[in-house]
Structure 1
Amino acid sequence: MKKISYGMHSISPADIESVINTLKSDFLTQGPAVAKFEEKFAKYVGSKYAVAVTNGTAALHLAVLALGLKPGKKVITSPISFVASSNSVLYVGGEIDFADIDSASGLIDINSLEERIKSGGPDSYSGIIAVDFAGNPVNLEKLRIVAKKYNLWIIEDACHSPGGFFTTSDSRRSLCGSCEFNDISIFSFHPVKHIATGEGGMLTTNSEELYEKLLVLRTHGITREKGKFLNSSEDIEMGPWYYEMQSLGYNYRMPDILASLGTSQLERADKNIERRHEIAKLYDEGFKNSEIVPLVKFNEGHAYHLYVIQSEKRTKIYNVLVENEIFPQIHYIPIHLQPYYKGLGFSEGDFPNAENYYKKALSLPMFPTLEDQDIQRIIEIVIGV
């Protein structure tokens, strides 16, 4: 029986050739392939700048660092995300808070977010991490109204949504990662994501100041730019070898090997989004006259990293699919119910929409090489439970 996972990477002959070419080149770690990947990715999402790093978690970490989050200040995000979204705040000594989700979309509820900020003390908050859950983009134009009201920055966690977009109030497409309405966006290139490099991540921004900070933070806090040196040549000899560590940075550099794979994968990103849309439509049509409820109806701007259904029989459906060698997943256990976060003071009942969502949610297989006959088989099994 054919095994089917909820997500699967796809490696083409062109991908393999690109990696082999890099292996034959003069650079294996960060070099010209990284710069090329950054340039092409920025163009793809419509941002001015892109900075490649080791993974999406590193991207989140550097984002909060670059935005100057101070110890003790709060950042608010969604409880329906992977724990990295909130962990990044704790890495730098910040405090995390959550706002409940909108049950109709799975995204953070903007009204609930504002009420949470009001009740928690507006002056105690520094920023918002907006999660494009499953590939469904947060309307950052609307979110920015709240952010500006309370002088908050916005990080878009777009790990699920490269190629996605939302429609603005003046009927334009605002691409995920364009940073049109936010400060920094971050992406992941984990194998189940749209673009796979094994491990890898990217930050995008339109701020030159933030861009320069990110470049330094990803490389130990070191700069080699002569015009930015703080020491004087009168104090220390400054030959061509000279560099300065000016802040506490990290080794979050992406190797050229991974960047070359990312650039190759980026070439077929639009084609893969089209296929994800086709699969979502097939699922929608298949479940149309059943008790199975898709989390959201088809949306052209949705990047469909995940296809999420909701059912009171979720666990039974999960078990029957696994018996048939089909391996769905559940995204996500609400972060505030994790033992570590309970230790921070969160508890069951804090965010009822998120908790009710979790009890019924199931992510079905969704990846571009998934075949129509497999989709129909999945639909038949799910409906038959």
Structure 2
Amino acid sequence: MPLVTTLRTAEPVVIDAPLLEAFQAAASRHTLLALRSDLTAFDLWCREHRRITLPANAQDVADYLKYRAGQGAKPASLARYKASIARLHQLLGLVDPTTAPLVKLTLAAIRRDKGVAQRQAAPLRFKGPVSDLERDSARGLNLRALLDACGEDMTGLRDRALLSLAYDTGLRASELVAVDMRHIVEANDPDARLLTIARSKGDSEGEGATAFLSPRTVRALDLWLEASGVEAGPLFRRVIVRRYKARARVPGRDLSTIAGREIWDLRKTLPKPAVPARTEFTVGQGALHPGSIGPIWRAIIRRAFEKGALPDLTKDDLERLLQRISGHSTRVGLNQDLFASGEDLAGIMDALRWKSPRMPLSYNRNLAAEHGAAGRLMKKLG
């Protein structure tokens, strides 16, 4: 971890190279990137405030957390910064300053002041905000309308397949872009397929899992693969779009009208036929970036709205929803649809590969209030 040698230290730090190598081999790429980002930010703050990064003391860490809270950092982010500072000291065999009561009480005070609730991504549910998935008609922002509104050009075919598979599997953005052609296997249902998930956020050791791909998704995938020519490698790729304007017919010029330097350019004497407007699509070789999934969802929603596929949403509704749409929205939507269809917590955790019940319960908090005992009574009372 080269970053260690650049940090502001009070004295030379003895680095246990085998321990650092073992940590880097055991940690995921995302963990290492987050750790580097957190420690770089802490080191910069220490330099600006004439503090020592290594070894840090409890007062430095407490002041840093208060500073980041003042900059708008949420309690969940502050907990991560604290954990990164602790991890660095532990790897270097230094006293961990984050265990001091001052740091714990400072973080507790911030959590009490700001609250710990996190802003939830807007869900992309199959029929939108409905109570009965079988009987109710789709309304509001709903995945069914988005899939129908995807175009038949290369971008539309990819987006329909991407969105449908994302909902079926509840994959996170990083897991979604990692889907490879070899991960799709046959299912007992000839119209369906299975997706093998080699590795996920909650499966750092690569135990693997399997998700079901509906006939709807299989049909969308077949159309995308046929049009794109993708036969191996990453399933979802960038589509490069080039649009050319129409050009009217250009008549040729008589040689007697050409003089000076123009006479050397014989192309000016030739007529040019009219050229219609056209659009060319090129499919890239590499996988999409995880950060592109949220923008793709937002672009799909905008196009659907412009086509009139979301008739009960106003322009203000659209803009408000788009602010909360992220690459996680399909995962949240599937989680809520499973809850609304009567699946228990164990089934939801298994389907979405959760290791802890905390997040699925958080995603279903509003639905639980509506479908809970008080909600059912109030509906009966009218």
- Does TM-score exceed 0.5, indicating one fold? no
> TM-score normalised to the size of structure 1?
0.24
> TM-score normalised to the size of structure 2?
0.24
The structure that is helix-richer by fraction is 2
The structure that is strand-richer by fraction is 1
